[in-house]
Copies of this chain bind each other. A is one copy, B any other.
Amino acid sequence: MRGGMVGGGIGSFFGPVHRMAATLDGQAEYVSGAFSADAQKSQKSGEAIYLDPSRVYADYKEMAKKEAALPLDKRIDFVTIVTPNVYHFDAARTFLDAGFNVICDKPMTCNLAEAKELKSVVDKTGKVFALTHTYTGYPMVKQARYMVYKGLLGKINKVIVEYPQGWLANFLEDGVTTETMWRMDPQKTGVSLCMGDIGIHAENLGRYITGLEIDRLCADLSHYIPGNQLDDDGNILVNYKGGAKGILYASQISTGEENGLNIRIYGTKLSLYWNQENPDYLIVKNKEGISTTYSKGNRILCHDAQNAARLPPGHPEGIIEALANIYLETYRAIRDGAAKNKKAVYDYPTVNDGVIGMAFVETVLASAASDRKWVEMLQVI
C-alpha cells in the first residue's frame, strides 16, 4: 500500500512516529508528501526519507490534485495528516474530495461544526477515514473492551479516567514564552488546549472500552499558566447514559507526570485497571478482593487482543506498535473498500469518534462557560 503524508517534516515529533507505525508490519510505504508549507523544507524532508522529488509537494492542495492525476498503480492509497490542528479539517476534506482515504491525527478538527461537516464529506465520498486515537490500539485495551462486552464486569457503575501530564509545568512559574508556545494560541490550536489535546483521548478510551456515552457533565477548567488563554487542566464529573457515573480529568500542569493516561472501570461483578505507561498489563479485581494480572500476548486473551500483539508475554511492546495496529485495521478497511465488502467490522477510530470528541470538548467548554453548571452532551448529529 502506498501512503502520502501531509505535515510531519524534518523536526516534527509525530511525523516519524506515524511513518514507523504505518510501515512497521511491511504493508505500506510512503511515496509522497507535502511535509511543510515551506517548499524547500518539504523537499528536504522528502529527501531525508528517500522519496522521489517529483512526489514531494509544498502544498497539500497541489498534492491532492497531482496525486489524483497519477495512474492508479502509482498514486497513493491513503494520506496521513499530521499538520498543526488548524489544518486538519481542510486537508482531510481536500483529500477525501479528491478520492483518497485519510488517516488523520487528533483532534480531528478545531471545533464541532467542522467535525460535523467533515463527517458529511466522509459519508458522501465513502472513503476510509481513520482518526489516530492511538491508545485504543493497545492489546490490553482490546481485552478490556472484550471483557465489558462479554458482560464479565456486570453492570458498569463507575468509570475513572485520568490523563495527567506535566510538560507544561515548566511554564507555571514564568508563564508562556510566545515563540515556543504556539500550542497556546487559539488560532493554531482551536477552542481548547488540554481538552482538545488529551481530554479527547480520555473520553475516547473510556467510550472505546465501555461503550458508554456521556449524558451530561460538569466541568471545572483551569488556566494555571500565566498568560495562557486556553485550558491547561480540567476536572470533570460525568454522567453516562444508562446510569453509570464517573470522573474524567486531563492536565498538562501536573508536575512530574509523563503521559499517565489510565482508566478504572467498576462493574457489579469485576473491576478493570489499565495504565498507558505500563500498557502490557490489565488488572482485574473481583468482589472477593482478588487481583489478577493478564499480560499482552497471552494465549488465553480474546482474539483481538492476541491479534494486536506481535510478540509473546514479557516482550514489551509500546506506543508505536499500538499506532501500527490502528494502521493495520485501516489498511484492511481500505483493501476491503476496494472490494466493496461493506459488512465487515473494523477496529479503528472513525470520523464518528472525531465528531463525538469535538462534541465532548465543546460540551466541556459550555459547562465551564456557564458557571460550571451541569450541561447535556451536545448533539452529534
Interface of A toward B, CB cutoff 8 Å: 16-17, 19-20, 23-26, 49-50, 154-155, 157-158, 160, 162, 164-167, 169-170, 172-173, 218, 220, 222, 224, 233, 235, 237, 239, 245-247, 249, 251, 253-260, 264, 266-271, 276-280, 284-295, 298-300, 310-321, 371-374
Residues of B near A299 (CB, < 8 A) are 288
A287 touches B166 (CB 8 A): yes
A246 touches B237 (CB 8 A): no
A313 touches B289 (CB 8 A): yes
Residue in B167, B224, B292 whose beta carbon sits within 8 Å of that of A157 in the complex: B224
Residues of B near A300 (CB, < 8 A) are 288, 290
Residue in B237, B312, B313 whose beta carbon sits within 8 Å of that of A220 in the complex: B237
Residues of B near A167 (CB, < 8 A) are 312
Docked CA distance A19–B160 (Å) = 37
B293 touches A298 (CB 8 A): no
Residue in B312, B321, B372 whose beta carbon sits within 8 Å of that of A258 in the complex: B312
Q: List 15 A-B contacts (CB under 8 A).
A: A154-B172, A154-B173, A158-B251, A167-B312, A220-B237, A254-B271, A255-B268, A256-B270, A256-B291, A258-B315, A277-B280, A277-B316, A289-B298, A290-B293, A373-B373
Docked CA distance A237–B290 (Å) = 30
CB distance from A158 to the nearest CB of B (A): 6
A310 touches B259 (CB 8 A): no
Residues of B near A259 (CB, < 8 A) are 312-315
Interface centre among A170, A224, A245, A314 (most CB of B within 10 A): A314
B237 touches A253 (CB 8 A): no
